[in-house]
Structures are given as structure tokens and as C-alpha cells.
Amino acid sequence: MKLKKLLKETITWNNRKFGERLPTLADYKEKYGKKEVNEAINLKDAGGEVFDTIIAFKKIYEKSPHKKNRKINMYIKQLLKIEQQLSDVIGDLD
């Protein structure tokens, strides 16, 4: 989809006269009747979800007949290292 087409689709943007303020999120919520806006995901919670997902995969993998596959074991270790690095960076943001 072209940017020009996207800009033309927004009624509030097209009807803006010279010198008028730019439309805000509140303007769009009012125009389209949306009462709620999704809040940003808490980074710490998202980091925890990543760790939980990796551990859940590891537990399922360990019960599979392929549990001795060295390449998959290596990738799981790498995922856990990456998750730890993400957690460290997220902790530094606070």
C-alpha cells in the first residue's frame, strides 16, 4: 500500500486547514469511537515471557526422542544466553 493512499484514507488528516493543529490520538479515538488504547508492554514482563517460553520449549524438547541432538542443545544454550543479555539490558534501562 502506498503512503499517499494511507494519508488520503484518514479523514481527520485530509480535512486539516492551513494553520490548524495536527490531529492527536484523542482526536482519532473520538472520531472512531475507540475508548481504550493498548498500553505499552512492560519490558520486564516481556523479558520474563521470553524466558518462560524458552524453558517451556526446553522441557518439551527434553522429553522428545531427539533430546540428544547436539545442534538443538547448542541453540537452546544460545537462546538462554541471549535472554540473559536482554534481561541485563532491560535492567539497565530502569
Top-confidence residue, 63 or 37: 63
Give pLDDT tens digits for 4-24.
Answer: 665 555 555 666 777 888 777
pLDDT at residue 19, rounded to an integer:
80
CA gap 90, 94 in Å, rounded: 7
Give pLDDT tens digits for 47-65.
Answer: 788 888 999 999 999 999 9
CA of residue 24 relative to chain centroid, distance: 23
CA gap 82, 57 in Å, rounded: 15
pLDDT at residue 34, rounded to an integer:
58
**Region 67-75: what's the mean pLDDT?**
93
* Domain boundaries, given as residue ranges, for the chain: 3-32, 43-93
Alpha helices in the chain (DSSP H): 3-9, 11-14, 25-32, 43-62, 70-93
